Amino acid sequence: MIRIGIDVGGTNTDAVVMNGTEVIAGVKSATTADVMSGVVNALRDVLAASGMEASAVDFVMIGTTHFTNAVVQRRDLAQTAAVRLGLPATASLPPMVDWPEDLKQSIGNHAYLAHGGNEFDGRVISPLDEDELKGIARDIAAKGIRSIAITSVFSPVSSDFERRAGAIFEAEIPGVHITMSSDIGRIGLLERENAAIMNACLRDLSAHVIEAFRNAIREAGITGKFFLTQNDGTLMDASFAEKFPVLTFASGPTNSMRGAAFLSGVSDAIVVDIGGTTSDVGSLHKGFPRQATIAVEVGGVRTNFRMPDVFSIGLGGGSHVVETDNGIKVGPVSVGYRIKTEALIFGGQTLTTTDVAVAAGRASLGDAAKVSHLSPDLIDRVQAKIHAMLEDCVEKSRLSPDPLPVIVVGGGSILVDGPLSGLEVIKPAHFGVANAVGAAIAQVSGEIDRVYALAELGRDKALEDAKQRAIDAAIAAGAAPDSIEIVDVEDVPLAYLPGNATRIRVKAVGELHAG
Amino acid sequence: MPVEGYLLKEEDLVPLSMGAALLGTGGGGNPYIGMLRARELMRKGAKVRVLPLDALPDDAWVAECGGIGAPVVGVEKIEEGGECYRAVRAVEEAAGVTVSAMISAEIGGANAIEPIIAAAMAGLPVVDGDGMGRAFPEVQMTTYMIYGAPASPAAIADDKGNVVVFKQMVDMFWLERFARDASVAMGAGAGFAVAPMRGDFVKKTSVPGTVTQALEIGRTILDARLKRQNVVERVVEATGATLFFTGKITDIRRELTGGFARGEALLSGIGGWAGSQARIAIQNENLVLWVDGVAVAMVPDLIINLELDTGEPLTTEILRYGQRIAVIGLPVHDLMKTPRALEIVGPKAFGYPELTFEPMAFSNTQGRERRA
């Protein structure tokens, strides 16, 4: 199976060609303003480097920050109606109540509250009122809004109301885009609703972007299927991605961590991805990034996505190195993509971390003579500082007392040498394009998050039911049934609820069905 | 009602909820939703005055109200908005009195904000004080109940308009039981109010000044962050807390018994406590702290976990392996330390028969020496 993985980042578009589990070629090229021509260039370059025919490519997997950036920069967002089902409950806080004002205005602030919703145990808060929904539909149609986000209270427990409301809107407004919160998020009404609304406002853009990716791939002569990677490191096919663009949020760090696991052959580790300006640090558990437990903000909006628990520090290959009264200061200022002109070894005027790595003899890049004047004492102190910064991150990311290895990837990997916090450091081959590798090897997943009454069902049966639902979801997403594994099981007892209510979250993943 | 105290401002709500989360000692529910609800009301023009306890006339009637239910429901089935307000109106009617102020049952967590919302809707002030000075899991664990407030009439109200009045309750334990069952029938999220209390009783039995205390703790945290100072140190200085331990969580054990999440967090010392071990017993709130096998703080004193770098108060359900935390202790108010109170909120009441309550050390010298 020949796969191409592409990671479209803010600075670089990286691409790799893989034959089965072997990396044939990897290239880095500049991300272009229109994104698409950068993808065309990356595809052309990586095919040339691999010596592979375009017609031999089975799958193309793309990781992109395009949709995250659209929300962060408030551009290309569609007018969106946010419909919540739950009255009389939830009336105290309308949809988008805690959004930044500019983002709210850029999608029109069209909020509707209607009857519906469920209690935690599945009972109905109030029955769906079809006439009420038809009235809302007429208002939405009159305003010319083409995308609707529907959120019903406790829809992760029962999504029936969201589906029925969606069907009513589709009948009343033919061709309207519907996003249902139960397809996207989990318990936590405002955060799930926020994600659904963000998804809805990206629907026009996603149609456009997915079509552009499709054209870029066709232009390169590739006839294989293509996928986008989502925030949990698994795949969605192009038509699914078009409906759920919000699921691409944070796929970048996830891809580099997954790529690191694959390239090193290690599935439990701490991953340090050192770029030009920042280092992202996170922890791998069974080959997947550990998920964040607290609300994550995107563009100023709280969400409860399955986001990797990654944090960044201002240390990269382009970080400024300055001597101050308080000792050596490294970053957070960086020359970024201008490293090729501004770093000392490339004839520039700025002392960067890469210059120090070259002076220390750890990398052969640029002109080493231009850093031969640096004193061994300075070099030692800078290296000690970098080491201390990374050790601090590694300590924060350690999620178990076991002596896990540290996998170092990204273009700035030359900064690291030797163990961190006494942990073995692994620098795998192709470390510079780990993110594109992570995209190429992405699997497909199914996840469920439900509240079970253990008093009725018993813990074993509840877990069994949750696992089966997760497996079914993975198969529906395109996983080969015999490759599916349960990778995560979490059960959290819920205080104050009767019947030993427990929230169970299960995730299953499998290899992409080759057929 | 005298015009004293101060008006709450919109910008007070974030620090107030942060301080309330800290006083929640790991429980009490997340005040985020309540903060937003109060903000919405204020943006629509509602004004709430914080009334000092001693400004309360002896013959004024005060309503104690708050949310009752499960924290997980609180983040999903957001309130209709008038739940507590309707419960208060119901107890007024049942008791045949008119209340002139609201007060919080527990300042720790989400219930710091509920009376403010009810007060905003009723156009009444909220009294600067509460019935715990922290968070506790059950209805009878307030100073009011401990010192003889009647267990009835009480009322519970849901989002749909159902209001149940508990006309005659034998004691506060029965009230807890019936109220808990009714709250589950209402979807495990409801507004609750107990019998109105007279001003003289409230003045005698309240933990005083806790609304202002929460507000100032929150302001301290936010100010320290803004100035990039050590947040934990600033909180310790500002509150007179004792820094008991800094460490990294090495294990978290959780189980469910009788509807309550019980658990234990194990910590390995860092900084001044390198080489030491600590253990925290949890049941919704942090109950007991042992350092190197010695119980150094226990309920009802406040045991608070702060994220070491940010000073963010951590609720028990988000504790996880690897977090680096500071464990600080605040002495609970004397009203919670009498033999009568300890029967209800002491270590024995929480299932630690081997522990006899010892007040935590007031002095901060241990922490200072350790850091030096």
List, as one string, the DSSP characters of B49-115: EEEPGGGS-TT-EEEEEEEEE-HHHHTTS---S-HHHHHHHHHHHHHT--EEEEEES--SSGGGTHH
Q: Which two tokens stand for residue A112?
A: 């509707």
- The top-level CATH class assigned to A80-201 is alpha beta
Q: Is the pLDDT of residue B363 over 70?
A: no
- What percentage of residues in chain B have a pLDDT greater than 70? 94
pLDDT in tens, B237-275: 999 999 999 998 888 877 756 555 678 999 999 989 999
pLDDT at B368: 42
Residue A282 C-alpha, separation from nearest chain B C-alpha, in angstroms: 12
Q: Which of B76, B86, B163 to mutate to test the interface with A (most CBs of A within 10 A)?
A: B76
Give me the mean pLDDT over the A138-163 stretch: 94
Identify whether the C-beta of residue A242 lies closer than 8 Å to the C-beta of residue A212: no
Cβ of A119 and B255 within 8 Å?
A: no
CATH T-level assignment (fold) for domain A1-73+204-249? Nucleotidyltransferase; domain 5 (3.30.420)
> How many beta-carbon pairs under 8 angstroms link A with B?
122
Nearest to B76 among A153, A495, A497 (CB): A153
Cβ of B70 and A120 within 8 Å?
A: yes
pLDDT at B260: 59
pLDDT in tens, B156-196: 999 999 999 999 999 989 999 999 999 999 999 999 999 99
Peptide bond into A88 cis (omega under 30): yes
- Dmax (CA) of chain A: 80
Give me the mean pLDDT over the B49-73 stretch: 94
Q: Which of A191-200, A265-274, A504-513, B63-72 has the lowest mean pLDDT?
A: A504-513
Angle made by CA atoms A211, A213, A217, in degrees to the nearest 5: 115
Rounded to whole angstroms, how far apart are CA atoms B53 and B129? 7
Rounded to whole angstroms, how far apart are CA atoms B117 and A343? 58
pLDDT at B367: 45
Give Cα A404 to chain centroid, integer Å.
24
Q: Which amino acid is at B56?
A: L
pLDDT at B285: 92
Buried b (16+ CB within 10 A) or exposed e, B311-349: bbbbbbbebeebbbbbbbbbbbbebbbeeebbebbbbbb
Q: Which residues of B touch A (CB under 8 A)?
A: 33, 36-37, 40, 69-73, 75-81, 137, 159-161, 180, 184, 187-188, 250, 254-256, 259-261, 284, 317-318, 320-322, 324
Better-scored residue on pLDDT, B119 or A159: B119
Provide CATH code, domain A266-432. 3.30.420
Q: Is the pLDDT of residue B341 over 80?
A: yes
Residue A113 C-alpha, separation from nearest chain B C-alpha, in angstroms: 11
pTM above 0.90, yes or no: no
Q: Which of A84, A85, A90, A92 to mutate to test the interface with B (most CBs of B within 10 A)?
A: A92
Q: Is the pLDDT of residue A303 over 90?
A: no
Give me the mean pLDDT over the B94-104 stretch: 97
Q: Which two tokens stand for residue A223?
A: 């006839």
